[in-house]
Amino acid sequence: MVAALDEAGRQGRDAAGVEDLFVAIAADRESAGSYVLEQCGVEASRILGRDTNGNGHAGPPSPRARILDESSLRVLRLADAEATRLKHEHVGTEHVIAALSIASDLEIGRKLNDTGLTPKSAEDAIQRWSAEGMPRRRDGIGWMPIRPKWLARILRPVRKVLRFGPLLWSLYARKSLGNPGFVKNPYSLYQWLREREPVRRDPLAPVWILTRYDDVMEMLKNPKFLKDPFGPQRLPKLVREQLEVGLEDRRVEAEVVSMLFLDPPRHTQVRSVFARAFTPASLGQLRPRIEKVTRDCLDKVAGNGGMDLIADLAYPLPVIVIAEMLGFPAEDYPRIKVWSDVLAASLSLNATGEQQAAASLVWGEMHEYFDQVVLKMNRGKDGPLLARILESEDEPGGLCREEVFTNSVLLLSAGHETTTNLIGNGILALLRNRDQWELLCREPELIESAVEELLRYDSPVQWTSRLPAEPTEIGGKTIPAGEIILGAVGAANRDPEKFPDPDRLDIRRKENRHLAFGIGIHYCLGAALARMEAQIAIGELARRFPKMRMSSKRLRWMKGLTFRGVRELPVKLR
């Protein structure tokens, strides 16, 4: 569908017609529709009187057509009927070719019939295609704009692993993100990659990996590296409405309106509205409340002699703070915490199908909850953050309700996960490096530089992604346009070219320009809040429990690649 809209745009049309559908299918030699054409002896260039290789179009890209014309909509309805008649689960390009052969009143339909492609021959070709095991099978048309191929591939790297025996796996995949030991300790792989192949195509996952500080910095700062992975395959809103695509799945809209996936200019507009809550003045007003929540959490466990630092402090603190900021009722915090955990897990680069399915259910539940809270919420300048953000609905270029909801959920899920991991990873690093913990206890004024060093040493977010808008050379290798690039933040923050003795924790470290919160237009919106929460929490722990130590050396790490943190961290307080 997207290819048809692009073809119409190249021809200077605002609406895509049946000819554009035909060109898009014929140009894709791997599509089932192209297989049907070949089986029926149809040469697309003879039907059209021109070459069908629209993908080779030179020059600047043309605007994509906005809508489908009536004839193409009619053909798609016929294709849907054909898929139903043949008892096929999805509508594919083969059904569109069959529909064109049925629509003999259209010029292209008559030409196809004249060359021997009739409804009967099209059906026979489809049956052969199925009988041969779908030799060039692709996802159906209805799924392409919503579930991009790269996303499906990156979530299932195990397919490639299965081609190798145990010995080849050990030799070939040991230095891959798919290695089971990577989550527990990624830093040995980071070092190996930085020293031997700092710009590398992963052997298992279809991604490029950058591990040097300067390369990751360039990816983050240069505007030719795009954040929106869905843009190239997303249908325009009018076409989605025409086809009723994705209307039953609210998470589809999240791909369109979340700051996480937007590029300028819309990213700038959305971010500017939410940034109002993260000014120095606004955050300064939060400090007393963060201090009280921290004291309350520690008071509950002070007499126990021990605690799970994650469950008793690092988890509840950021959730309570961000939920209060947005204006959600206190009695709902436990439910919000469960929801945000599920959503944060689905944001991982290697989220499982079960995690994605759970997130879809949670998304709907949260949307209903959000609508109920908004109805009861007091509006006005003195209201909570959510009330102030909702005022932008009436401003020129302001946010729609879906944008407010989606980005509020982003703050809840990704925001709290980052701070939780910062506090957890930070205390773990300090307790493993006892001299640094004792130094902080003696000199509490080091807390700011300590938190910066903890962010560098074991970053709570290990990866960030971009897509080059054009073929781009990095480190002597050319990365094609549109391919996924993963910037290894954790590796960049341990680059010896940038940080002397990078594997040593040093809370007095100077010139600590780490990339834990990113840089550029996508710099973490809540970075200052996360810093303040970590400084208060870790500082209070050092003040009250200077003899604190780990009570178990056996740790369970979160399985995802994006967020790095332990599931629990049991400690003795005295």
The string of pLDDT tens digits covering residues 154-181 is: 444 444 443 444 444 343 445 556 565 6
Residue 275 has pLDDT above 90, yes or no: no
Dihedrals φ, ψ of 141, to 5°? -55, -40
Share of residues in the chain with pLDDT > 70 (%): 80
Structure tokens at 274: 């939410």
- Decide: 440 and 507 in contact? Cβ < 8 Å: yes
- β-pairing, 67-68 with 15-16? parallel
- The pLDDT confidence band at residue 506, using thresholds 50, 70 and 90, is very high
Residue of 508 and 183 predicted with greater confidence: 508
CA–CA distances in Å: residue 384 to residues 327, 380, 416: 5, 9, 18
Which pair of structure tokens corresponds to residue 181? 């030991």
Whose structure tokens read 């923050």? 493
Instruction: Name the band, by pLDDT with cuts 50, 70 and 90, for residue 406.
Output: confident
**Contact present, 540 and 534 (Cβ < 8 Å):** no
Kindly tell me if the per-residue pLDDT of 234 is higher than 60. no
pLDDT at res. 124: 93
- Per-residue pLDDT tens digits for 446-505: 999 999 999 999 999 998 888 888 899 998 899 988 888 999 999 999 999 999 999 999
Helix/strand/coil for 199 = strand
Distance, in Å, from the CA atom of 456 to the CA atom of 506, rounded to the nearest integer, reads: 10
In this prediction, residues 15-35 reach a mean pLDDT of 88
pLDDT reported for residue 381: 63
Residue 30 confidence (pLDDT) above 70 = yes
**b/e per residue 256-269 (b: at least 16 CB within 10 A):** bbbbbbbbeeebeb
139 pLDDT band, cuts 50/70/90, is very low
Report the alpha-carbon distance of residue 534 to residue 416 in Å, rounded: 12
Domain ranges of the chain: 2-131, 231-572
- pLDDT band for 322, please (50, 70, 90 cuts): confident
* Structure confidence at residue 431 (pLDDT): 97
- Which has more pLDDT, 74 or 250? 74
pLDDT tens per residue, range 66-107: 788 889 889 988 988 898 899 887 788 899 999 999 999 999
| 191-195, 344-348, 386-390: segment of lowest average pLDDT | 344-348
Instruction: Write down the mean pLDDT value for the chain.
Output: 81
Q: For position 14, what pLDDT does the model report?
A: 87
Distance between CA atoms of residues 39 and 284, nearest Å: 70
Convert 517-533 into a string of H (helix), E (strand) and C (coil). Answer: CCCHHHCCCCHHHHHHH
Q: Is the pLDDT of residue 261 over 90?
A: no
Average pLDDT over residues 305-320: 93
Contacts of 462 (CB under 8 A, 6+ apart): 186, 488, 489, 490, 561, 562, 563, 564
Residue-wise over 150-173: b if at least 16 C-beta within 10 A, else e?
bbeebbebeebbeeeeeeebeeeb
173, 203 Cβ separation under 8 angstroms: yes
pLDDT interval class at 402 (50, 70, 90): confident
Q: Is the pLDDT of residue 185 over 80?
A: yes
Q: Which CATH architecture group holds 231-572? A: Orthogonal Bundle (1.10)
DSSP-derived 3-state class of residue 464: strand
DSSP tag of 203? S
Q: How far apart are CA 43 and CA 112, in angstroms?
A: 10
pLDDT tens column, 522-551: 888 889 999 999 999 999 999 999 999 999
The answer to whether domain 2-131 has CATH 1.10.1780.10 is yes
**Whole-number pLDDT of residue 40:** 92
Q: Are 100 and 112 in contact (CB under 8 A)?
A: yes
pLDDT computed for residue 504 by the predictor: 97
104 three-class SS: coil
Measured distance CA(414)–CA(419) in Å, rounded: 9
* pLDDT score recorded for residue 507: 97
List C-alpha distances in Å: 240 to 246, 311, 378.
7, 43, 35
Amino acid letter for position 289: R
Give the H/E segment covering residue 195: helix 187-196
**CA 387/CA 381 separation, integer angstroms:** 8
CA distance 108 to 114: 10
Is beta strand 208-210 parallel, antiparallel or unpaired with respect to 570-572? unpaired
Judged against a pLDDT cut of 90, whether residue 340 lies above it is answered with no
